[in-house]
Amino acid sequence: MDCDAVGGWWFHLRRCARCGHIGCCDSSPAQHATAHYKATGHPIVRSFEPGEEWFWDYSSEELYDSGPELASPVSHPAEQPSPGPAGRVPADWAQILRRG
């Protein structure tokens, strides 16, 4: 994942429905999922959070409660915290996100 490659952290994760790329959400400091859409034109992402099945279409800015079944895995491991990853999230993460 992009955040791992640069030693960053994320608030929530999103998965590209077309190619499977995992990127962080727009509330995260780096906004990798949106950057992936802008770089590739792949408009549809699915939440990569445990228990969430919704999809977002960047091109139309529409939210869908469900969509096609994607290949596994459908979320990050439940034991992985959000925000994450464990050990890299700053103690003041909520204040950092509010500043953004």
- Residue whose tokens read 């909520």: 94
Question: Which residues in the chain land under pLDDT 70?
Answer: 100
- Residue whose tokens read 């096609």: 68
pLDDT of the residue at 46: 98
Give the sign of the dihedral formed by CA 19, CA 42, CA 56, CA 62: negative
pLDDT of the residue at 77: 93
pLDDT of the residue at 99: 79
What length is written for the chain? 100
Contact status, residue 25 vs residue 13, Cβ threshold 8 Å: yes
pLDDT of the residue at 100: 61
Contact status, residue 8 vs residue 96, Cβ threshold 8 Å: no
Q: How far is CA 52 from the centre of its chain?
A: 12
